[in-house]
Structure 1
């Protein structure tokens, strides 16, 4: 996932993030009271005063809407960028028409550029706002000292908030890294427990079963003793089965492991694997679920598809996790779900997602799993 798509303003959820942004930005809004004082001072008269009030109110609404707009990958281009463009236009028009204290509006837009746009684009935006301040100031005959101060504010605040954004991005990456380390540590601990269960209980229960079988042969002349020994053997076998099931659960493979295994299995079957993963690591629940989906999908390709290539794509944008497995094999109809895919479909539905299976658009077979992260959590 790109640098800009991964950035958020802080907080664990979108709602929390919006409140944090609104709280942080409210302190800077206090300087707009200078514009209110300028209007109330009587410097503007008649229709110009009305337009000044309307312009200021519209700018504040647009500015706050931009601040609290969604930061997700899908919503960014749908709402955030149009709001940013509208706020920028209002700031430029205000500075161009009224001058004076209204030259501060581009400074507010500079902060938005720094916190929303990628660094390179933010730099161009800051340079543009500097040109607006200087140009509008000269147009309204502002003194050189005022223009120098405003220009320095544009540059310094822009660089400062780009630095703040970088810091928050690094903090987010650090949290992700810590989460991944914790997940790997948990996986290692599960493997250790699985080994201990197998080495200790598995060996002991297997020995009990063998001893019970031997004792049963030796006690064939005593039906009562034979029945008790058979009961011991039955209980030991059941316990051994349960231990093996528990060990299998603890040894559940993660999605990265299953993707590596899929590459190996497909190549061994003469199928060229094309694996693509985009986004941050999946949460624990989805990681195991998608790992199972990759295993089931790969098994079907090897057994039934007669394909030459298979593409596996995993996408995670923080809101939805999507897995697609597509091959160029037969993809014949009628298509019938096997027990493995039926079980996968049930588990995905329990996690709040859905599974699409069937022939591909052009050829072959297609398996698509989509799970909303909120529903899975």
Structure 2
């Protein structure tokens, strides 16, 4: 019963998929066969059987409605509160009227309380269901051993599903933290670039402003020095433009070693354990920059999409070809799509005579880049 009920609230994250809950819910409801047997075997007959069947159907409908209406663990809506109240009345009233196998109904309430209500309210509800089962068992003179087992089920399932609920909430918070780490890392990188460009252009632009003012005054007075100052302005502006282009090129091609360090720091901050293996001769500068680009694209995918706990980055060079492989144990579905960066990477690699393959691997997602080492001179 524990395994079946564990599937009742399917999906992951703060807003679990409600449709995923249906298969597990169907399995869990099979334990309602005990009250159904009372109706089928004739233990309950006449009008009482009709009302019992109606009450059981109503219980099932309300139970499913609670599960399907629940959007966030521990934060029930007004509709959920009303449905839980209705199911609670049925879970207490039907066993009180019929006894026997109907005492399994309060066990279902422990699952609802644990997953849908706040911790304090869930504890109160679970204790209440345990007392209810014990009292109804005594009142209906059920087998003491069976009643004790049902009370034990109420307690253990309550603790189990509260733990499940808390674990899922922690997973949600961890994912949010990982997304925040990735966002902060990108923000910090933008700030670093802004500071570098400010330091790079601040002096040149200030000099251009001063020389422009001086050239204007000299031009008004008809001095021949105005032409020399204008030429200086042109020279400073050209030098600043070259420096900016060099800086941007350096940002885009930080190199394999720098990208590996950055990828390791970012992924470990996001909770992913990284293993890096390098084998072979030193790479040509152009090829080093190309693989650095590939490492950045792969690391971005792992942080933002894969939700992996482990990632392996391996670079091998045998003198003829160089291969980069990034394999994680995250979600196997291909997260790449138009505009994701893979298209641009593929074009650059193919221009260097190499190939790119990306897709689900044995344990997660795998990105493989293979480039002829001789292409380093034209990559």
Q: Could you state the TM-score of these two structures normalised by the residue count of structure 1?
A: 0.53
- Alignment-derived partner of residue 126 in structure 1: 126
Aligned positions, number: 235
- Tell which structure's C-alpha radius of gyration is larger: 2
- Alignment-derived partner of residue 202 in structure 1: 202
- Alignment-derived partner of residue 184 in structure 2: 184
Q: Is the 8 A contact 1:212 1:230 kept in 2?
A: no
- Alignment-derived partner of residue 101 in structure 1: 101
1:31-42 paired onto structure 2 within 5 Å = 31-42=31-42
Q: What is the rounded CA distance, in whole Å, between the counterparts of 1:218 and 1:158 in structure 2?
A: 87
- Could you report, residue by residue, the CA deviation over 1:149-180 in whole angstroms, capped at 9, with x for unpaired residues? 11111111011111111111222222222233
Q: Is the 8 A contact 1:212 1:232 kept in 2?
A: no
Shift in Å, 1:205: 3.7
Q: Is the 8 A contact 2:216 2:226 kept in 1?
A: no
Secondary structure of 1:177 counterpart: helix
Runs of 4+ in 1 over 6 A off after TM superposition: 215-219, 221-228
Q: What is the rounded CA distance, in whole Å, between the counterparts of 1:134 and 1:59 in structure 2?
A: 21
Are 1:87 and 2:110 an aligned pair?
Answer: no
Secondary structure of 1:135 counterpart: helix
Mark the CA change 1:211 to 1:10 in structure 2 (over 3 Å): closer, same or farther: farther
Q: What is the rounded CA distance, in whole Å, between the counterparts of 2:110 and 2:116 in structure 1?
A: 10
Q: What is the rounded CA distance, in whole Å, between the counterparts of 1:103 and 1:211 in structure 2?
A: 92
Secondary structure of 2:44 counterpart: coil
Q: Is the 8 A contact 2:129 2:154 kept in 1?
A: yes
Structure 1: state its 5+ residue gaps: 1-7, 240-377
Mark the CA change 1:143 to 1:79 in structure 2 (over 3 Å): closer, same or farther: same
Shift in Å, 1:136: 1.5
Are 1:53 and 2:53 an aligned pair?
Answer: yes
Q: What is the rounded CA distance, in whole Å, between the counterparts of 1:176 and 1:163 in structure 2?
A: 20
Cα RMSD over matched residues? 4.1
- Alignment-derived partner of residue 365 in structure 2: none
Structure 2: state its 5+ residue gaps: 1-8, 242-379
- Could you report, residue by residue, the CA deviation over 1:233-273 in whole angstroms, capped at 9, with x for unpaired residues? 9x88xx9xxxxxxxxxxxxxxxxxxxxxxxxxxxxxxxxxx
Q: Is the 8 A contact 2:10 2:24 kept in 1?
A: no
Q: Could you state the TM-score of these two structures normalised by the residue count of structure 2?
A: 0.52
1:108-187 paired onto structure 2 within 5 Å = 108-187=108-187
Mark the CA change 1:163 to 1:152 in structure 2 (over 3 Å): closer, same or farther: same
Q: Is the 8 A contact 2:115 2:161 kept in 1?
A: yes
Q: What is the rounded CA distance, in whole Å, between the counterparts of 2:234 and 2:47 in structure 1?
A: 98
Q: What is the rounded CA distance, in whole Å, between the counterparts of 2:13 and 2:115 in structure 1?
A: 18
Q: What is the rounded CA distance, in whole Å, between the counterparts of 1:226 and 1:11 in structure 2?
A: 70
- Could you report, residue by residue, the CA deviation over 1:9-56 in whole angstroms, capped at 9, with x for unpaired residues? 854574x53234444433311211333333222222221221121111
- Could you report, residue by residue, the CA deviation over 1:177-200 in whole angstroms, capped at 9, with x for unpaired residues? 223322322222221111011111
1:1-377 paired onto structure 2 within 5 Å = 11=12, 14=15, 16-71=16-71, 76-211=76-211, 232=234
Shift in Å, 1:210: 4.4
- Alignment-derived partner of residue 243 in structure 1: none
Q: What is the rounded CA distance, in whole Å, between the counterparts of 1:127 and 1:213 in structure 2?
A: 83
Q: What is the rounded CA distance, in whole Å, between the counterparts of 1:54 and 1:106 in structure 2?
A: 17
Q: Is the 8 A contact 2:215 2:227 kept in 1?
A: no
- Could you report, residue by residue, the CA deviation over 1:317-369 in whole angstroms, capped at 9, with x for unpaired residues? xxxxxxxxxxxxxxxxxxxxxxxxxxxxxxxxxxxxxxxxxxxxxxxxxxxxx
Q: Is the 8 A contact 2:95 2:136 kept in 1?
A: yes
Q: Is the 8 A contact 1:91 1:105 kept in 2?
A: yes
Mark the CA change 1:38 to 1:203 in structure 2 (over 3 Å): closer, same or farther: farther
- Could you report, residue by residue, the CA deviation over 1:88-118 in whole angstroms, capped at 9, with x for unpaired residues? 0011011111111110000000111111222
